Amino acid sequence: MKKISAISSNYATKGLLEKFVNNLLGAYENIEIILVDNDSPDGSADFVQEKFGNNPKVILIRAKNNGLAAGYNLGLQKATGDYYVFLGTDAFPTKDALEKMLEFMDEHADVGILTPKLYLRDGSVDIDAHRGFPTPWTALTHFTYLDKVFPRSKLFNGYSMGYLDFNTTQEIDACISHFMLVRPEVLHKVGKWDETFFLYGEDIDFCYRVKQVGYKIIYLGEVKVLHYKGAGVNRNTAQDIDNAMNTDFEKVSFKDQVIESKNVPSTSKWMRNKITKERTNAMRIFYKKHFMKKYPFLLTKLVLLGIWVNEKMNLAKIL
């Protein structure tokens, strides 16, 4: 029986952790769960230690909050599995899903990353798990909503590759790190996760590098995994989840900053600002790293201007 190393990088999702860990323990027998807690202010690490400290299958790593990618890299140092599953504490795979994914990987040596059809609590598909690379054209069609107007168009919806059938098995450009099954050999070839990306973009960058070394990224549309989307970043879709990224703490740590909640009028507002800036900064990092040398200077200037405008518009919505 193949061994799975399930690696999760957690920040302040205490309300999900017991369900998350118990689900994994029940879904697969030969598993090690490596939970990296990024200095959560809600007592996540202590909670896991109390609940699962005597379980040899659960490995807790306490770390500074250096971001999602940094957490994954710390988890990799402890991983001993035949396969790695990177996932958020808001992902809940079944035994059937894991077994089918492992079987697929065993039968397809050219596949480096396998992802299932993530679905949300309302039953809809999480289209972020089925992505194309954000080329300038793809980004333009996405941010001008042309992909929404023409959801089945290959020309206008390269962002989520909506012209493909989400219920079938197919090769895609990228998926999100909320749930991806990865061969250890992939890490040997592409190296660790890029810690330049703090909260967003680390998965797209990882997928891009995996494709560059010749591995396929496959979307297994026949296999479904539940995703409590937004629980880790305080989205409106997750407000009903107990302690899911609740930011009403005495202190909040985020990257290189630690703030006292009592000194901030609205910690939640501060957090949304930081998340917005990190999301758009990830766009800049990815473009400069992978695309800047591929496109003309003038186009690069326009792309970076577009990212700046997008950031300012989103920040304005928070005011």
pLDDT in tens, 96-122: 999 999 999 999 999 999 999 999 999
Across 166-184, average pLDDT:
97
Residue 87's pLDDT band, with cuts at 50, 70 and 90, is very high
Tokens 């973009």 -> residue: 201
- Whether the Cβ atoms of residue 234 and residue 41 lie closer than 8 Å to each other: no
Residue 42's pLDDT band, with cuts at 50, 70 and 90, is very high
Q: Domain locations in the chain?
A: 4-130+166-227, 257-318
Distance between CA atoms of residues 220 and 210, nearest Å: 18
Q: What predicted TM-score, i.e. pTM, was given to this entire model?
A: 0.90
Residue 231's pLDDT band, with cuts at 50, 70 and 90, is low
User: How many Cβ atoms are within 10 Å of 152's Cβ, its own excluded?
Assistant: 9
Residues 6+ positions from 142 with CB-CB distance below 8 Å: 134, 159
In this structure, the chain runs to a length of 319
Query: CATH number of the domain at 4-130+166-227, please?
Result: 3.90.550.10
Tokens 């054209």 -> residue: 137
Looking at every residue in the chain, the average pLDDT score rounds to 91
246 or 291: which carries more pLDDT confidence?
291
Q: What is the DSSP letter of 289?
A: I
How many degrees, rounded to 5, is the angle at CA 146 between CA 141 and CA 150? 125
Is the pLDDT assigned to residue 145 strictly greater than 90?
Answer: yes
3-state secondary structure labels for all residues of 172-237: CCECCCCEEEECHHHHHHHCCCCCCCCCCCHHHHHHHHHHHCCCEEEEEEEEEEEECCCCCCCCHH
Distance between CA atoms of residues 181 and 83, nearest Å: 7
- Whether the Cβ atoms of residue 63 and residue 70 lie closer than 8 Å to each other: yes
State how far the alpha carbon of 162 is from the alpha carbons of 25, 61, 140, 201, in Å.
34, 38, 16, 20
Q: Which of 12-26, 149-163, 235-249, 262-276 has the lowest mean pLDDT?
A: 235-249
Instruction: Give the pLDDT confidence of 259-282 residue by residue, as tens digits.
Output: 454 444 445 777 788 899 999 999
Across 28-39, average pLDDT:
97
Is the pLDDT assigned to residue 252 strictly greater than 80?
Answer: no
Per cent of the chain over pLDDT 70 is: 88
DSSP string, 10-67: ESS-HHHHHHHHHHHHHH-SSEEEEEEEE--TTSHHHHHHHHHTT-TTEEEEEE----
Is the pLDDT assigned to residue 237 strictly greater than 50?
Answer: no
Distance between CA atoms of residues 299 and 302, nearest Å: 5
Q: Which of 24-28, 164-168, 274-278 has the lowest mean pLDDT?
A: 274-278
Across 188-216, average pLDDT:
97
Nearest alpha-carbon partner for 87 in 141, 192, 17: 17
Is the pLDDT assigned to residue 144 strictly greater than 50?
Answer: yes
The pLDDT of residue 232 is 58
The pLDDT of residue 318 is 84
Across 121-145, average pLDDT:
95
Distance between CA atoms of residues 65 and 258, nearest Å: 10
